[in-house]
Structures are given as structure tokens and as C-alpha cells.
Structure 1
Amino acid sequence: MARTVEFDIEQAIERATSVFWEKGYNGASLRELTDAMKINSSSLYNTIGDKHELFVLCLKQYTHNRRISLQEQALQATSPLAAITDFINQVSIAVIQGVNGCLAIKTAFEVSPKDDLIKAILKADNEFTQTFLSSLIKAAIAQGEIGKDKDPDLLADYIISTYTGWYELHILYRDPRKITNLAQFMIRHLTQ
């Protein structure tokens, strides 16, 4: 009779996410993943599937958690512009303090060019962020916090594409001031 596999899948996925985040998809061995998850490889195969299926679950959970966090932060802001400013400041802090960078950005370069499923997950996450920022910008325009001459979709794309470059700068220079200055520059130019 087959043994029943019992473990907290959500917690195991969280632990596996940490390994993928640190080592990347290609750098994470199955042994490192199962050790972190505190399961054996047969339990992984019987409940989740292979390494790729595990990575898909990790990436989905990561992007889902990020969405919830963004929405909660926006609800706490005093105005749409304050929510955008908080978003930009939080990204700069994540870049500076994040040891492993952003899992989604790392994955975009490592895995997604050759994996349509991963690319679709990342594209959906990017589209969520773009829509999220664009709606805040539209609300800020409606309240007179940002000029009516601004294109909300273009500005949202600009914010996203700019902060992805901050990760590269921080990897190369490890200069927190550089990232903080770029964030403040972006914030100042929202209202000009």
C-alpha cells in the first residue's frame, strides 16, 4: 500500500520559492529544493510534479502575493499620487535591500525567453502592475495631482521599465544613493 504524503504544500512552495529566488531556475537543484521543502523527491513528484511544475506554482504564488501587497499599500495611501510615490519608494527599498533581486525580473531573463508558460505568468503580472499604476495615475490626474497632459498608460510603462533597470544598476554598483536618487527624480517628474 502506498504511503500517504502529508506536508503543508503552501509552506513547501514558499520554501522552494526562496531557493529559486536565490539560485535561479537553472541553478536550483532538485535536491536543494526538496531539502528546503523538507520532503523527498517522490513526495514532490506525487503531489506537485516535476521541477518545472514546482517553479510555475512558486512563480504564481510570488506574483499573487505581490498583487495583494500592492493593493493593500494603495488602500492605505492618502491620495492616488501618494500611492504612486509609496510604490516607487517601496520598489527602491526592495532594490536596495533585496539580496536576490526581484524573482520576476530574474526569471524574465533566465527562463521566459524559452518558456511560453513562464512568459505568460510574467506578462500577466506585468499587465496587472501596468493597469494598477495606470489607474492610480488616472485618479491622480482627476484629482489635479498630476497634469492632464500626461498619458497614464505611457507613464505606467515608463515607471515599470525604469525600475527594472534599477536592479541592474544596484547589482553593478551596490550604491543605495544612486537608486534613491533615481526614485526621487522619478517622483519629482510625475508632477512636472
Structure 2
Amino acid sequence: MARLLEFDEEQAIQKAMEVFWKKGYASTSMRDLTDAMQINSSSLYNTIGDKQKLFIRCIKNYTDMRIRATEERYKEYGSPIEALENFIRDAAHIITTEPSSCLCIKATFETEGENPEIQAAVNAYDHFNHQFLQNLIEKAQNAGEISTDEDAGIIADHLGSVLIGWYNSFVLHQDSRKITDMADFVIRQLKR
């Protein structure tokens, strides 16, 4: 019986995530994954499971990484509107500079919401972003930095939809300026 290869599971998950991110779920083969992770298929199946289980782990790894980065990046801003503006500008920057778009958006469109575990991981990340934006908006409203005429939750929903639209626009047009112009427009609208 062949000896199973020992490996750093977190590092292997990161490598697999990069393959899924670049190629998508359907186009990624088990060979692509084991080559990138530098492990044999027995090690993969015995420690993590099949391709779907690995993909779910990768989605969770991706969302955890993004949540930690967001919490760290925005904890020290002078005002809520400044943090909100920077969040919007950061989103535009990420959309126009990451070569593979958002892993969660890709996963949602590719799996069409048919896998409950994948959808649960993506929904948890979406919920985090919504709550994060809603909290910033409420703080900005309470500080008198933006109008209180609209519900903070509705504004957060709108911003979330706008950001997804920017991903689609960039995939279609590859026009960075268009995305940054739209980011500036959204910021101007918030400050009215």
C-alpha cells in the first residue's frame, strides 16, 4: 500500500483556491488540483474529500480571508463616510485589478445556487458585507454625514447590487475608467 503524502492543509487549500479562482469549478480537474497542491489524490480524498468538498473549503477560506481583511482595513477611519468612500473605492480597485474576478460571484453564477453548502458559504459572506455596509451607513447618518431620508439597509442592499454589477461590467468591457467613474458617482450620490 502506498504511503499517504503528508502536507500543510491550509497551504494546500490556498493553492487549490487559486486554481478554482482562475479556472472556475467546472473547468478545474482533480489533476489540476493535486498538481497545484503538490499532493497525491489519495491524500486529498482521505483528508479533505472530493472536488466539491474541496471547493466548499476554498470558498470558506476565501470569504474568511476577505472578512478578516475588511475588518482590519476599516477599523481605524476618522469618520464613517470616509470609511464608506474608501470601501467603495477599494471595491472598484479590486474589481479592476484582480485577474479572476470575485470567487464568490464566479461560484454563484457557475453553480447557479444549486449546491446548498456553496450557497450557504457565499450567503454568509454576502450577509457580512451587507451588515458591514449597513453599519457604516447608519454611523454616517448618525454623524450627519449622509442623509437619513433612506433606510440604511436599503442603501446597503443597493450598494451590494451595484458592486456585483461592476464585476459584470468589467468582465464585459475591461474598462477600468468606467468602474472608477461609477464609484465616484455612487460616492457623490451618498453625500447628497
Give % identity: 45
- Whose RCO is larger (CA < 8 A, sep 6+)? 2
Between Structure 1 and Structure 2, how many residues are aligned? 192
Matches within 5 A, 1:80-99: 80-99=80-99
When you count helix as a share of all residues, which structure comes out higher?
1
* CA 33–49 in structure 1, closer or farther in 2 if over 3 Å, else same: same
Structure-2 separation of matches of 1:103 and 1:77? 27
- What is the TM-score normalised by the length of structure 1? 0.96
Structure-1 separation of matches of 2:103 and 2:78? 29
Residue 57 of structure 2 is aligned to residue 63 of structure 1 = no
Which amino acid counterpart does residue 7 of structure 2 have in structure 1? F
Other-structure match for 1:27: 27
Which amino acid counterpart does residue 92 of structure 1 have in structure 2? A
Summarize deviations over 1:62-115 as a string: whole Å, max 9, x none. Answer: 001111111111113221111111111111001111111000011111114211
Question: Does the 8 Å contact 1:112/1:118 carry over to 2?
Answer: no
> Structure 1 regions of 5+ residues with no counterpart?
none
Structure-2 separation of matches of 1:26 and 1:94? 24
Question: Does the 8 Å contact 1:20/1:28 carry over to 2?
Answer: yes
Other-structure match for 2:79: 79
Other-structure match for 2:116: 116
Structure-1 separation of matches of 2:104 and 2:17? 11
Please state whether the residue corresponding to 1:26 is helix, strand or coil. coil
Which amino acid counterpart does residue 49 of structure 2 have in structure 1? G
Summarize deviations over 1:14-70 as a string: whole Å, max 9, x none. Answer: 000000000111111100011000101111011111101100110001001111111
Other-structure match for 1:149: 149
Which amino acid counterpart does residue 147 of structure 1 have in structure 2? S
Structure-2 separation of matches of 1:38 and 1:48? 14
> Structure 2 regions of 5+ residues with no counterpart?
none
Question: Does the 8 Å contact 1:81/1:145 carry over to 2?
Answer: yes
Q: Quote the RMSD (CA, aligned, Å).
A: 1.2
**Structure 1 residue runs of 4 or more that deviate by more than 4 Å after TM superposition:** none
Structure-2 separation of matches of 1:162 and 1:131? 16
